[in-house]
Amino acid sequence: MQGSRFRKSTDAYRQGILEGDRIILSQAITLMESAHEEDQRAARELLESLIKHTGQSLRIGITGPPGVGKSTFIEAFGKHLTEQRIPIAVLTIDPSSNRSQGSILGDKTRMHDLSKDPLAYIRPSASGNVLGGVAQKTRESMLLCEAAGYKIILIETVGVGQSETAIKDMIDFFLLLALPGAGDELQGIKKGIMEAADAIVVTKADGDNVARATLALSEFKHALHLLSSSDTSWTPRALAASSVSGKGLDEIWLMIQEFERGSKLSGRFEETRKRQRVQWMNEYFQQLLAQDIEQANLVEQKLNHERAVMENRVTPFSAAKAILQHYHEEIRKRKS
């Protein structure tokens, strides 16, 4: 918990972030993640003051099954970008609880070289009970990093699964990492996440794995060919790379740049960003509405309706409608 004792003024956070101060950026993200009501109010005020300084980065989501080498790939790819003088921010999501914060040392150990790079900023966060492979405040953290001047935002999700496709609502390019195991690996990946991916990269394509990686690459290219895409301006691709030798990293970066140029030229880039902003607003509205309903003295009525549904005395629809009616009555009482 941040706590008012350690909280800076909005102007102090804002100035520090715009100047690229990584310590203040980290403190501001901690403020965003705090559950303290006053911290949340200060965080919202800060974000409002910075919103015009956001949106200029390229947002890349990276996911893959356990053992695929996400952190290793991100470190190698990140170094490839910083060597070109491109400032990057890496937001890594850990499956541990908010209480344990187990990823903070783990991710920085796995990305040892990148964490020391002055052009790179790494921020681990716990996923808590949030689905979609991201943390509750990933979007806010991403916007703060953009305001701090980072041109590429890499978001590493918890792992691969059907809920991981939720990350599509906050990124520009979705990269799925796959192991060089061809058949078994292909069977284990859900169709939904394959359809969501803008590209698949077969990792560990070096040493004794070269032959298997080549076979896997062929399998994934065939699978992508069979899948239909809603984006007519981009055809998903499959590539192979080695985080050890660096082979394939430049090809991946050139592909992502090609995607960015094409989607901006077609207008799809900005249209996707607009849709994502509205989606974010709708999610917040649902959260605020749920909180308001919980605070509207409906606990007893809700429990009674839940009991009636469990005992099959009323339909779920009728019970939900009755709860909504109680809520409307409570709103009328507040106005009177």
Helix, strand, coil share (%) of the chain residues, nearest 5 = 55, 10, 30
**Neighbouring-strand partners of residue 152:** 58, 88
Mean pLDDT by 10 residues, the chain (336 residues): 67 97 96 90 94 96 89 96 98 62 52 93 70 64 97 84 68 93 57 84 93 91 77 86 96 98 95 93 86 79 92 94 89 82
For residue 39, the domain's CATH number is 1.20.5.170
Query: Under a CB-based contact definition with an 8 Å cutoff, are residues 92 and 125 in contact?
Result: yes
Q: Quick one: 302 and 227 in the same domain?
A: no
What are the helix and strand counts (H, E) for the chain? 14, 7
> Is 272 part of a structural domain of the chain?
no
Q: Quick one: 41 and 162 in the same domain?
A: no
Q: Which residues of 94-104 are buried (b: 16+ CB within 10 A; e: fewer)?
A: bebebeeeebb
- Of 216, 232, 265, which marks where a domain is finished? 265
Q: Quick one: 188 and 70 in the same domain?
A: yes
Query: Under a CB-based contact definition with an 8 Å cutoff, are residues 175 and 133 in contact?
Result: no
> Is 129 part of a structural domain of the chain?
yes
pLDDT confidence of residue 253: 98
> Is 271 part of a structural domain of the chain?
no
Q: Quick one: 72 and 206 in the same domain?
A: yes
- Of 216, 243, 265, which marks where a domain is finished? 265
Residues of the domain holding 306: 277-335
Q: Quick one: 195 and 261 in the same domain?
A: yes
* Total number of domains in the chain: 3
Q: Quick one: 36 and 106 in the same domain?
A: no
Q: Quick one: 48 and 59 in the same domain?
A: no
Query: Under a CB-based contact definition with an 8 Å cutoff, are residues 212 and 182 in contact?
Result: yes
For residue 260, the domain's CATH number is 3.40.50.300
- Of 265, 293, 313, which marks where a domain is finished? 265
Cα torsion 6, 9, 15, 17 to 10°: value is 40
Closest CA to 73 of 171, 199, 262, 230: 199
Residue 243, φ and ψ in degrees, nearest 5: -75, -20
pLDDT confidence of residue 230: 61
Record the pTM: 0.85
> Is 257 part of a structural domain of the chain?
yes
β strands within 13-87, DSSP E: 58-63
> Is 270 part of a structural domain of the chain?
no
Closest CA to 200 of 172, 184, 224: 224
Query: Under a CB-based contact definition with an 8 Å cutoff, are residues 293 and 327 in contact?
Result: yes
